[in-house]
A and B are shown apart, each in its own frame.
Chain A
Amino acid sequence: MTDTLVAFDDVLASYDPALGLEVHVELNTNTKMFCGCPAVFGGEPNTQVCPTCLGLPGAMPVVNAKAIESAIRIGLALNCEIAEWCRFARKNYFYPDMPKNFQTSQYDEPIAFEGFMDVDVDGETFRVEIERAHMEEDTGKSLHVGGATGRIHGADHSLVDYNRAGIPLIEIVTKPITGAGEKAPAVARAYVSQLRDLIVALGVSEARMDQGNLRADVNLSLAPKGAGTLGTRTETKNVNSFRSVERAVRYEMQRHAGILDDGGSILQETRHWHEDTGITTSGREKSDAEDYRYFPEPDLVPVAPSREWVEELRGTLPENPLLKRARLQADWGYTDLEMRDVIAAGVVGLIEETVAAGASPQAARKWWLSELGRRANDAGVDITELGVSPAQVAAVQALVDAGTVNDKLARQVFDGLIAGEGTPEEIVAARGLAVVSDDGALGAAVDAAIAANPDVADKIRDGKVAAAGALIGAVMKEMKGQADAGRVRELILEKLQ
């Protein structure tokens, strides 16, 4: 069934969107939330499991102190209250991704609550109210086999790896975000992007969306324009790039409006996001909270962080992201427009890392915003998924600064980086991209260009130095862009004057 989509402007003419974002952050602790199994990514299946995270009888969980510390720091950075006393709960459900038949989570007593984050969108600040940040554990990974494509429909059985089961997660839940109107998709994206910057600054997670360290669920509802009510929401799960967050909000707004315009009603359900086609499809109907039969976890005692500890952790918080942006703009000497562009493109953190790796702020901006931003757009992927790191961008710029390559050749180095051909230096060597400034090779090309363009050569002999451009162009073409343009010019003038 194809969904009827209403044009975005028409959605806004009739409805007010309300957003809600749930972001799961996988902490970078050494061990899992409730046991000493390693919490690293990428191990062989079922090599990081023990009786506790396998839910074997008699195993007892014990809380990871570092995870509590990270949770409190995230809460404080989001301007939350920190609970004086809170508990874990069992969220009961029967699905093989949790071998215990429940997930240990927090329910009505989150460790952090009632906070906010100020989000900058095109120079305008939106305050996103945070309802809660609570602790829970990640689930195992299921591989569905037997079906045509590994998707769940038609799968004969599922293979489960519990290495991820029990890795500490912090789930950060916003209150409904209303009043964003046409900017709702951009606000959603900016919130997730800024939240990621904050998590990175706190150092509590790798926060890589492509590896699932940071996963966003996007809630969206529409209400009749001006009614001031909240409509029925859908929850689009696992939207795994900033760009997709924006697209998913826009898509759901258009889809909801299509149903409501037709006199239909929205089914409260989970939706799946399809990165390739940019649409959502129906998942399961959302269980009522009571179906999870939450109850306090009897195997864990309450967590009661002392106020002294909380204040000590407050002292470890990084710079406020908005103030930090102002500072970076001053440090980098960007104009307001330049800064707005890099914020909108979500590359502030990337530029910061590139500058830290030695590139000038202007060079870092040029590569991330123009070259790599365009490529990400063309490929329909998030810029972080291109496979080019800030350190590599700085290395490419270092090659430009050293005169090894020019900007044009540097673009070919990026081709090589995206294709996974090695380091920038290796790519220059393997592809033969280095600029030629050797007089022997250049001199021969210059002689050939002069011979092929006698009219132009005569003009230069007559003192029309500007005409040299045509000969430089011919030499560059002959040498596939790899000639040192400055040296070519010198040689031409030497030979003709």
Chain B
Amino acid sequence: MPEITRDEVAHLANLARIDLDDAELDHLAPQLSVILESVASISGVAGEDIPPTSHALPLTNVFREDVVRPSLTPEQALSGAPAVDQQRFSVPRILGEEA
């Protein structure tokens, strides 16, 4: 049975930049375990002869020709941005890390 520990949930929350306090972790960790267990019940149905799949359709090689299509205007592109500066998306500063 898959079980997700409280520590794992805290780690994932940190990676996802979600600030969870102790009470929320206590509350959410068991719930996530239940969800994982529910999903895992599929394993019980799938036999050895059914390979894992990542796609519902039996397709391969769906390609696009390398031809330019119109982009959005910068106004359209930035219309949903919470903050804009110098025609760029303005985001809060990144703490102590760099991709």
B41 partner residues in chain A, CB cutoff 8 A: none
Contact of B94 among A49, A67, A85, A96 (CB under 8 A): A96
A300 partner residues in chain B, CB cutoff 8 A: 62
Contact residues of A between 433 and 474, Cβ < 8 Å to B: none
Question: In the complex the two chains form, what is the Cα distance from A35 to B91 in whole Å?
Answer: 24
Contact of B97 among A95, A159, A291, A305 (CB under 8 A): A95
B98 partner residues in chain A, CB cutoff 8 A: 152, 272, 283-284
Return the CB mask of B74-89 against A: 1 if under 8 Å, else 0. Answer: 1001101001011111
User: CB distance B93 to A157 under 8 Å?
Assistant: yes
Contact of B68 among A38, A44, A99 (CB under 8 A): A38
CB-based A-B contact count at 8 angstroms: 147
Question: In the complex the two chains form, what is the Cα distance from A440 to B11 in whole Å?
Answer: 86
B70 partner residues in chain A, CB cutoff 8 A: 36
Closest chain A residue to B73, Cβ basis: A47
Is there a chain B Cβ closer than 8 Å to A131's Cβ?
Answer: no
User: CB distance A49 to B71 under 8 Å?
Assistant: yes
Given A95-B97, A97-B99, A158-B93, A298 and B74 contact (CB-CB distance below 8 Å) = no
The secondary-structure label for the interface of chain B is loop
Question: In the complex the two chains form, what is the Cα distance from A325 to B64 in whole Å?
Answer: 37
Contact residues of A between 54 and 106, Cβ < 8 Å to B: 54, 56, 62-68, 85, 87, 92-97, 99
Is there a chain B Cβ closer than 8 Å to A202's Cβ?
Answer: no
Contact residues of B between 40 and 99, Cβ < 8 Å to A: 54-55, 57, 59-74, 77-78, 80, 83, 85-94, 96-99
Q: How far is the CB of B50 from chain A (nearest CB, A)?
A: 16
Question: In the complex the two chains form, what is the Cα distance from A48 to B73 in whole Å?
Answer: 8
User: CB distance A96 to B71 under 8 Å?
Assistant: no
Q: How far is the CB of A31 from chain B (nearest CB, A)?
A: 5
User: CB distance B77 to A49 under 8 Å?
Assistant: yes
Question: In the complex the two chains form, what is the Cα distance from A162 to B72 in whole Å?
Answer: 12
User: CB distance B72 to A51 under 8 Å?
Assistant: yes
Given A62-B64, A157-B92, A284-B98, A50 and B71 contact (CB-CB distance below 8 Å) = yes
Measuring CB to CB, which residues of chain B are less than 8 angstroms from any residue of chain A?
15-17, 54-55, 57, 59-74, 77-78, 80, 83, 85-94, 96-99
Measuring CB to CB, which residues of chain A are less than 8 angstroms from any residue of chain B?
29-31, 35-38, 44-51, 54, 56, 62-68, 85, 87, 92-97, 99, 139, 142-146, 152, 155-162, 272, 283-284, 291, 293, 295-298, 300-305
